[in-house]
Each structure stands twice: as structure tokens, then as C-alpha cells.
Amino acid sequence: MAVPRYLGILFSYGADSRWELEGQVESHAAGGVGGVMRIDDVVGSVRRGIRAMEGYVPGKQLSGGTYIKLNTNENPYPPSPRVLEALRQAVGAELRLYSDPMALRLRETAAELYGCEVDEVIAGNGSDDILTIIFRTFLGAGDVLVTPAPSYTLYKPLSALQDATFKEIPMGPGYTLPEDLDAHGAKVVIIVNPNAPTGVLHPRATLRAFLERTQSVVVIDEAYADFAGEHVIDMLKEFPNLIVVRTFSKAYALAGMRLGLGFARCEVMAEMMKVKDSYNLDSLAIVAGCAALQDQEWLQEIVGMIVRTRTWVQQELEGMGLYVPPSCGNFVFPTIPDGRAAEVFEALEKRRILARYFRGPLVKDSLRISIGTDAEMETCLQALRESLTQG
Ligand SMILES: Cc1ncc(COP(=O)(O)O)c(C=O)c1O
């Protein structure tokens, strides 16, 4: 039976304390016949774009068990002891109070570290929150979001949520930035740098050249920049269309805390601030974020260990005859020959080693393997060797 419709009237409480008529909207309803609404009608009321889209599928997260977990680019080392101490101090009766909606201390600490204005910084509940804020701020129905492919798989569902048009432009040879990236009518171009899942770094000069010619808003997702030793936050001064996104989930070893940062010019940030949830960071996350940024020594130490392990793993994989794009992240992305990537992924899982396998046409022949401890990687390399020779 067709869902009956009627013209409802939406009221809202105005800033001047009077009930105001906002306008007439078309809404689904059970036809005004009374009774409890049917589940089909409720689901039928969901926005068409949401029903049509596929939700984001995060990497597997396990509770307990004895897996070697190399599937979501977490840090194998713990967060700074200063973070843990600050958290212990912060757990108490004060949690009854709301957190600072502007996360001012964290933004000030970040501004000092990166040499920018506090009003150029936004803090978020993970960098996924920052990405959501950016998509909501800039993209409406029909606006075009362009990303070089392959890249972070969250961008597609975030575009769908905005009814925006998502366009992937295949990377050039060696996973370099596509030359025609600015030829697709993008309102927003988003580039992961170093790229995920490949690990390849687009040098600052390449990004600068792109920023000099493009008329799009350019988002650089620097989730893995701490492992690369270079970033573009300083370029905000030159390019008003630049937005940079950072996470604490990788190099700072705080994936479970959900912390991210965004950087943009003050005028842009003022708009983004309107879009965020009011209390998007909890008090403990703010405390943890400040302590983490203040302990750069710890960061450098654990990043150094991961980079050393990555260099060794890359060489070992190449020694097995595999192509591995040069990684500047905390993961590697070897190509598995003979169309056997899915099979090898499963063989690893049977040995309780979790890697990440993506099914898309540009990525289906590779596995993304996070860099764990030396011992974890030794086990993983051995399992890979065996799986490859058992073919
Ligand atoms: C490129 C990229 N951006 C953003 C994120 C999200 O990180 P967060 O944990 O801060 O939400 C990830 C997570 O894997 C990522 O790979």
C-alpha cells in the first residue's frame, strides 16, 4: 500500500523567543488514521540517499583473543606515560560537569606546537569527526568530491550522507597524484598524505603546485604524517583553500581515545565550528590530547621504532619478490602475485594474524599490513613466506 502523505507544518522556537512558522514540508506519516506507526513506514521515511548507500565497514576489532592485530594501523606501543598519568589525575567527581565545548586547552596546545592561531584549530572525536565536519560544511546535494584512488574508504559514505557526487580519479604510475586532478569540477579535493592504503608520500612540492592552480577546497588528510616527517600545516598561511586533518590514533597511540585535529584559516574554521556537535570531545580526551602533544619526545621515540621496523619489513617483502610501494606510513601494501591476495589474507587469519584486504579493482591484489613490533612482524613475515610458497 502506498504511504499516504500530507503537508505537515514545521514550527521552531525562534531566537527572539516567539514560536515561528518556518515553512511547509512534505512528510511521511501513517495517514492520520491513528494507531502505532508500521515499521515499514518508519524505514520508508529514511532519506533516500541513506537507504541507497552502503555504510562504512571498519576493520575488524576483537575483544580478547591472541591475534596479532595488523589490520587498522594502530600503534603497537603504548601512549606516553604522561598521558596515562594525566588521565588518572582527571578521573574523578569533575566528570559530572560537561567538557569544554571549544576544547580550548587542546587547541591552544596544538596551535603552539604547529605555530598557528588557536582560531585556526578545531578538535574532534577522532579525525573521522573532523572529516564529517568538513563534509557537512562544504558539500551539499550534487557538489563534487574528488579523491585520488585508492584512498581512505570513508570518503565515499561521507559524500553519500551529503548527497554529494563522489569521484575517484586513479593515481598515476607508482601511486603518484593524478595529473588531471583539478579537471573534474570538484568543490572539494581530498588527498591522504602519506596515502592510505599505499603509504606513498606526495612531496610538499607536488602539493604546493596543485594548490597553486586549483580552484577547489583542498583537504589533506595527514593521519600518517608523523611517520613521514613532513606535513603542510605551515602552508595554511599561503593557501586559504587548504584544510589539514590530523589524528592521535596512529603515531600518538591513542586510537581508543578518539582524538583528531583540523587546521584551516580562521574564517573557514568559524564556519566549521558551527557544524560540530556541541560537546564533541569528552573531558578525558581533552586531557589526554594535551599531554600527548606535550610529550614530543615519546612520540619521536615510538615513531622512530616503527619507522625502523617498517624499513626492515619493506626489505624483507621485496626479498620475497613482492612489489611494495615505498611506505611513509605505519603500514606496508605489498602486491600479492597471481590473484592470490584474498587467499593469502585468509591464510594469515587462520594463523591468527589480521591484515586488511580491500576488494576494490585498484586494491584487490594487495594486502595492507600495519607495522607491529619486531616480534609480531617476524611472525607475520614467516606466515607470508609459507602462504606464498604453498600456492
Ligand atoms: C587516512 C585516514 N584518515 C582518517 C582516519 C581516521 O582516524 P581516527 O581514528 O582519527 O578517526 C584513518 C583511520 O584509519 C585513516 O586511515
One-letter-per-residue 3-state SS of 95-139: HHCCCCCCCHHHHHHHHHHHCCCHHHEEEECCHHHHHHHHHHHHC
Domain boundaries defined on the chain:
68-75+297-389, 81-295
The C-alpha cell that represents 144 in the structure block: 563534487
Best residue among 156, 247, 331, 356 to mutate for probing ligand 1, ranked by most atoms within 8 Å of CB: 247
Which residues have CB under 8 Å from 110's CB, separation 6+? 121, 123, 261, 289, 293
- Report which of 287, 308, 332, 282 is spatially closest to residue 79, judged by C-alpha positions: 287
Q: 7-62, pLDDT tens digit by residue?
A: 333 334 334 433 344 444 444 444 556 899 999 998 999 988 888 888 887 777 76
Pocket of ligand 1 from Cβ distances under 6 Å: 73, 126-128, 152, 192, 196, 221, 223, 247, 249, 255, 260
Ranges of the chain whose pLDDT falls below 70: 1-33, 62-65, 391
Model pTM score: 0.89
Residues in CB range of 59: below 8 A, 6 or more apart? 71, 72, 354, 356
pLDDT for 31: 52
pLDDT at 17: 37
Residues 247-284 pLDDT 10s: 999 999 999 999 999 999 999 999 999 999 999 999 99
- Domain 81-295: which topology? Aspartate Aminotransferase; domain 2 (3.40.640)
Q: How far is the CA of 12 from the centre of ligand 1 (A)?
A: 37
SS3 9: strand
Superfamily of 68-75+297-389 according to CATH: Aspartate Aminotransferase, domain 1 (3.90.1150.10)
Task: Specify the pLDDT at position 56.
Answer: 82
Encode burial over 188-221: b for 16+ CB neighbours within 10 A, e otherwise: bbbbbbbbbbbbbbbeeeebeebbeebebbbbbb
Q: What pLDDT does 7 receive?
A: 37
| CA-closest candidate to residue 245, choices 368, 132, 356, 86 | 132
Which residues, 6+ apart, have CB-to-CB distance to 214 below 8 Å?
181, 182, 189, 241
Q: One-letter amino acid identity for 290?
A: C
User: Do 81-295 and 68-75+297-389 fall under one CATH topology?
Assistant: no
